[in-house]
Structure 1
Amino acid sequence: MKLRWFFVATLIVNQSFAQPDINLTGSESNLLEYSAAFLDINTNSRLGGFGEVGTVTSPFYKNAGVYQNPALISNNGQFAGINAFYEPWLKNIVSDVNLYGISGFYAADSSNALAINFTYFNLGEINYTDNNGYYIGTDKSYEYFIKLAYSRSFNKSISAGIALKFFKSKIASALIDVNTIHSISFDFGLSYQHQYNLNNKSFLNTNAGLALTNLGPRISYVEGEKDFIPQKLSLGLFINPDIYIHKNFRFNIELGYQAEKYLVPTPPAYDFDGNITNGYDPDISSLKALYQSFYDAPGGFDEEINEIKHKFGSEFRLSFLDYGYIAFRHGRHLEHETKGNRNYQTFGYGIGLYGFMLDYMKIKAENDSPLHGTWILTAGYSFNLDKSHLRF
């Protein structure tokens, strides 16, 4: 029961259990606080194996825009597809917490595309007892969102996208009264892609992308307290040599980098009377946080730089015509020690045949990290609408 409540409490205010009561300098651990952290969890095996880089992608993967950057959806030509995933979450801490969901996209032409994504976060059950220890009932905790996205390509290189999320968060608690949350958030994205000819049969695909995700109002789990949701800015760069090696085979090397910064207030430094001595008042609107978050850290510019997370991804893929492929992936997630110290590697594998895809990824972190061993399995089907056969 105590472990369950500790786990639930960290979901109500992300990372709050590690936050010092009084921040004396910007060099000390000074974690950002936000709620509804499930909005920011990666749920796609391919992106996960690729270091969770998803603001940019290659032309080969048609569903990448469903997740982090809606601008990528309309770069598909006339494609459609569907994906389903399953992810046990923090299985080293709790055994009955998991995420699962389904998504789909449809690009009727090369300029316009739509996508939908449903994700459900099962947080397990809490058993209630009376003062004598007798069982009196059970309550469930869960969260979910439904995301609707639209993307438009203005030419072969530039595209933009927007997405709307409806989400609900119900956290069961035997210790305090917790409000059930119903709210919305928005995603915006831009993408620039260009293909260079290396020779008559080989190409170099490049992509630069920007995404603003989870922009929305503050929410309140506990009366009198308002929390931010994980508003975030992501910038990505991508390069992909697509090499002809045989009339039936192509070899691809994909390399990606993504920088991320949460657009929420940095907790200021306080004196022992609770007065702010350095930094800015964090009790502001979510709109003001979009720009104040760039200069409000009590540690100044150095602390602002420390708030940037770095993600690196690589993939090696061998394709056989448009019939199938096999892929191997590796990624790195780097976060400063004063901002959470969530540093880990990701490994992933993928196989596709006649439009069917199966992808798997796993996180390797220090053994005492709750993320160590987390894995995702994704199955999907994608087909080309402007061909007589339904393949990649």
Structure 2
Amino acid sequence: MVTRKFGLLVAGFMALASVGFSQSQGGGGQSVIGQDGGLNPITTSLPFLQISPDAQHAGMGDVGAATAPTANDTYFNAGRLAFNTSDIGVSVSYTPWLSKIIDDMFVAYLSGYKKVGDEQAFGLFMRYFELGKIQFTNDNAVITGEANPTEWTIGGTYSRKLTKNLGVGISARYIYSNVGDGVDDLEAASTASADIGLYYTKPLMAGGREDEFSFGVAINNIGGKVSYAQEEDENFIPTNLRLGTAYTMNFDPFNSLTMAVDFNKLLVPTPQEDGSHMDKSVISGMFGSFGDASFSEEVKEITIGGGLEYWYKQAFAARTGYFYEHEDKGARKYFTMGVGFRYQVFGMDFAYMIPTEKENPLAETLRFTLLFNFGKDKQESITE
């Protein structure tokens, strides 16, 4: 039926477009070349999990492994959450998605934390992806129904300082995806996943300044496969390794500049011509993802993000960044810019994406974030 085909095409298009046309909701129908022969992007289900949720990090090229602590550590690096200095922090982010071609599609992210002493923090977070309403029609263009595909996650984070410079954290989440809403052959999919993160930060004296060096590593979305149809069609979710560093130069009490860079690699099998990569277990796929292709192709699977953040009086911030993905692995390349404001317990961040190629559906993507930080943690640390 036309209605069914239309629904499948629209759902597939939306899922594919959700991360710059580099990942799709299914993995069975892709064209595989690879092994240095050309286009061979890694495909996963639930690509919306890879969308950077907040405007601060989005304005810096989507870095986030080792930047300064915020309530959004629940997404980037759970090991950093305990280093927040406020007793309570809340962040609300909103991103109109594919706004150049669709007017009712968006990503929303809510996160918050509560410090317990100086060493521990507990966080909660929720992500909601609204794919907009879809109308189904018959051969005579008569509307026969309507669907509203959505995806969402909800979860929690625990973070603890091991020393005054080193912290670790874990997160767990439940994931629900209903991109096939209204399509008879597709069912809703759900799974659970976990994150683990490590964060290290240390003050450094350089040129008479008290600077700060930070390093972070996180593995996100370690979880089971999902299927929208039959079990044999199960596909991996985007398990991701994020490794990054940041360096902050404090020029004086009023001016500071942070430079940050992240390297990301999906811990998912590289697609093979015979489809054998789909038969691997989650754990086998994770560990095997470092050697299931030639060395040069494995290097191509690493994305790089870099960014700068300037603060004046810790009240106004200006940001810029760049994100790079190899042409054979998705070809996402874009510049970012953003600004931020802080006043007492309140903060606002804005980010803007500028793709390097014309006619990119993600061009002019805006992100908005509201922040609230209450109270300073004044308890004496046992790690001092």
Say whether the fold is shared (TM-score over 0.5).
Answer: yes
Deviations 1:307-332, CA, capped at 9 Å, x for gaps:
0000001011111xxxx510000011
Q: What's the counterpart of residue 19 of structure 2? A: none
Partner residue of 1:262 out of 254, 262, 266 = 266
Q: Which residue of 2 aligns with 1:306?
A: 300
User: CA 1:45/1:281 → structure 2, altered by over 3 Å: closer, same or farther?
Assistant: closer
RMSD: 2.4
Match of 1:225 among 222, 233, 242: 233
1:19–1:31 CA contact under 8 A, matched in 2: no
Gap change, CA 1:239 and 1:19, over 3 Å in 2: farther
Q: Which amino acid letter does the alignment assign opposite residue 352 of structure 1? A: R
Residues in 1 aligned to 2:277 and 2:338: alpha-carbon distance in whole angstroms = 42
Residue 171 of structure 1 deviates from its aligned partner by 1.4
Contact kept? 2:323, 2:332, Cα under 8 Å: yes
**How many pairs are equivalent?**
367
Q: How far apart in 2 are the matches of 1:55 and 1:101? A: 18
**Offset at 1:152?**
0.3
- For 2:350 and 2:15, locate their aligned partners in 1 and report how far apart those are by CA, in whole Å: 29
Residue 279 of structure 2 corresponds to which residue in structure 1?
Answer: 283
Answer yes or no: is 1:169 the counterpart of 2:177.
Answer: yes
* Deviation, structure 1 residue 25: 4.7
Tell me: CA distance 1:77–1:96, structure 2 relative to 1, closer, same or farther (3 Å): closer
The answer as to whether partners of 1:54 and 1:64 remain within 8 angstroms in 2 is no
Residues 136-174 of structure 1 deviation map (CA, whole Å, 9 limit, x = unaligned): 322210011112000000111110000001111111356
Structure 1 residues 139 and 318 mapped into 2: Cα distance closer, same or farther (>3 Å)? same
TM-score normalised by structure 1 residue count: 0.87
Residue deviations 1:26-68 (CA, integer Å, cap 9, x gap) = 331001010111111111000100111111112xx43241221
Task: Quote the Cα distance in structure 2 between the aligned partners of 1:128 and 1:263.
Answer: 37
How do 1:1-392 residues align onto structure 2 when only pairs under 5 Å count? 5-10=8-13, 14-15=23-24, 21-23=31-33, 25-58=35-68, 61-130=69-138, 132-172=140-180, 177-198=185-206, 202-223=209-230, 224-244=232-252, 249-268=253-272, 270=273, 275=274, 281-297=277-293, 300-319=294-313, 325-365=315-355, 366-386=357-377
Instruction: Name the CA shift for 1:21/1:148 in 2 (closer, same or farther; >3 Å).
Output: same
| One-letter amino acid of the counterpart of residue 306, structure 2 | F
Cα distance per residue 1:235-265 (max 9 Å; x no partner): 1011001222xxxx42110000100000111
TM-score (norm. length: structure 2): 0.89
**Cα distance, 1:206–1:64 mapped onto 2, change above 3 Å:** farther
Q: Deviations over 1:199-248 (max 9, x none)?
A: 88x4111111100001100001122301110001011011001222xxxx
SS of the residue aligned with 1:124? coil
Contact persistence 2:67–2:214 (CA under 8 A): yes
Counterpart amino acid of 1:116?
L
Residue pair 2:32, 2:40 contacting (<8 A) in 1 also: no
1:367: Cα distance to partner? 2.5
How far apart, in 2, do the equivalents of 1:199 and 1:28 lie?
47
Q: One-letter code of the match for 1:9?
A: G
Q: Unaligned stretches of 5+ in structure 1?
A: 388-392
Structure 1 residues 283 and 83: CA distance shift in structure 2, 3 A: same
Q: Is the 8 A contact 1:266 1:282 kept in 2?
A: no
For 2:377 and 2:330, locate their aligned partners in 1 and report how far apart those are by CA, in whole Å: 47
Q: Separation in 2 of the partners of 1:123 and 1:374? A: 15
Percent identity, aligned pairs only, is: 28
Q: Secondary structure at the match of 1:96?
A: coil
SS of match in other structure, 1:381: strand
**Structure 2 gaps, min length 5:** 17-22, 379-384
The answer on whether the counterparts of 1:333 and 1:344 sit within 8 Å (CA) in structure 2 is yes
Q: Secondary structure at the match of 1:304?
A: helix
Verify the 8 A CA contact 1:181 1:220 in the aligned structure 2.
Answer: yes
Contact 1:255-1:314 at 8 Å conserved across structures: yes
